[in-house]
Structure 1
Amino acid sequence: MEQRVLIADDDRAVRESLARALELAGYEVVAAVDGVDALTRARRDDFSALVVDVMMPYVDGVAVCRVLRADGDRTPVLMLTARAGTPDRIAGLDAGADDYLPKPFEVPELLARLRALIRRTPFVPDDRATATGGVLRIGALRVDPAGRRVRWGDEELHLSKTEFDLLELLVRHEGIVLDHATLYRRVWGPEAGVDAKNLAGYVGYLRRKLTEAGAPELIHTVRGVGYAVRWAS
């Protein structure tokens, strides 16, 4: 079976050159442009390994690794960074990375390290989606991306398309503060201008509907930055 690798790097030139090298080496490659994109793709699909740059906007590579490990995802992670200092390597490894390669690097060395990671950790499909039927869960909240349905316990929430897309994005990145620009880009599209008041309005609609269904406060405001979904068990 062809091995799939996710490359996450905000530098387009690095991302594209790595993708070409990996494809020539026989890998199927999926590219992510930042940490939020990397988390979304890693949570949605199965990969043989992840190649993640540390310095990325919105969510950095260390946070990506930490969140995936907290999710129970054990996909091998090779971190790339221009920071070669010992404290930076320790931070990445402590977050759950399996290997660390400083920039600039030679592509043959990256390929060798990738082969070693995949060899040490045979690919086993992540069973999180199987166990939950693809449904995202926080407490009694159930978000079904395929059916585009949301429930709190036995109560179904009736959401508009934008409300659903916004809630799904926040829930997929539970515990991570997503800034206004990221939320607009991912929900309204890359060409949409950022309107903090409009975004606050949709967050208000979601909060009201969640409260009416009996949910506690789930969507938290980080003033001057954005919003995060957090569950206090």
Structure 2
Amino acid sequence: MSKESILVVEDEEKILRLLEIELDYEGYEVGKAMDGHDAFEVYRSRSWDLILLDVMLPGMSGIELLRRIRLKDSFIPVILLTAKDSIEDKVSGLDLGANDYITKPFRMEELLARIRAVLRMKQVTTSTAEVVQDEWLHAGDLKVNEKTREVIRKENDIELTPKEYDLLLYLLKNKRQVLERNQILEVVWGYDYDGETKIVDVYIRYLRKKIDAGYDQALIHTVRGVGYVLKDAT
């Protein structure tokens, strides 16, 4: 069985070396780059299972690198490494297409757990895509195609970020079930953010603007004190 491969993009040599040692010990195949331009070339040189990407890089910023990667590949998991620590910054990074976001300094055990969670989510998504043949999930006049990732309401195409899509898909697959914020956090983000459930509320607000705003009836509903539920319009 081949090793899962991780590309580490980090300009601090000590952190890069530490990550290389730890990931190699955990059984991953590790590639590395210390600036944005080199990282993009290494990324294009082969396929990777996951990218650890520092935001602050010489040559090309991690954000610009992420943008370029997403133009070529919507599915490769990316975890951002950054010193920034606010909810707003985390949301911004995820909106750019990252699958997860961890702040420096971080505990290696936490980073490894997040890597495992993101890779598990990738395996589930891949296996699902292999068996789904143009299958549409429905809620009222909303429909989502798991294979093509199309989201349509009343024949209007809706553009979602990767995390918004994951959240909508989870709500849709559990239609009419009330989902707690912590439950959503663990499944959609793949890791417990130590009670930072505000990020769930932020993304629900984003989804509502795209899914419900401008339509006669809302599909996403708040259950006060508990969480959220997606229901067919009545």
Q: Could you tell me which residue of structure 2 aligns to residue 138 of structure 1?
A: none
TM-score by length of 1: 0.51
Unpaired segments of 5 or more residues in structure 2? Answer: 127-234
Displacement after TM superposition at 1:91 (Å): 2.2
Aligned mates of 1:90, 1:34 — CA distance in 2: 24
The runs of 4+ residues in structure 1 deviating greater than 6 Å are none
Is 1:44 aligned with 2:6?
Answer: no
- The AA in structure 2 aligned to 1:34 is D
Q: 1:88 deviation in Å?
A: 2.0
Can you list the C-alpha shifts for 1:62-94, whole angstroms capped at 9, x where unaligned? 111111111134210010001112232122111
Alpha carbon RMSD of aligned pairs, Å? 1.8
Please name the residue that 1:106 is paired with: 107
* Aligned residues of 1:62 and 1:91 also touching (Cα < 8 A): no
Return the letter of the residue paired with 1:6: L
Deviations 1:8-44 (A, max 9, x none): 0000000000000000000010111111111111112
The one-letter code of the counterpart of 1:71 is: K
Cα distance change on mapping 1:73 and 1:43 into 2, 3 Å: farther
Question: For residues 14 and 30 of structure 1, what CA distance do their matches in structure 2 show?
Answer: 14
In the superposition, relative to structure 1, how do residues 84 and 66 fare at CA in structure 2: closer, same or farther (>3 Å)?
Answer: same
Query: Superposition pairs for residues 80-229 of structure 1, below 5 Å?
Result: 80-122=81-123
Distance 1:124 1:36 in 2: 30
Cα distance in structure 1, aligned partners of 2:41 and 2:124: 19
Number of equivalent positions: 125
1:77 partnered with 2:78: yes
- State how far apart, in whole Å, the 1-side matches of 2:123 and 2:58 are: 31
Q: Does 2:60 match 1:59? A: yes
Structure 1: give runs of 5+ residues left out of the alignment. Answer: 126-233
Q: Report what 1:68 is aligned to.
A: 69
**Which SS does the other structure have where 1:121 is aligned?**
helix
TM-score for the superposition, normalised by structure 2? 0.51
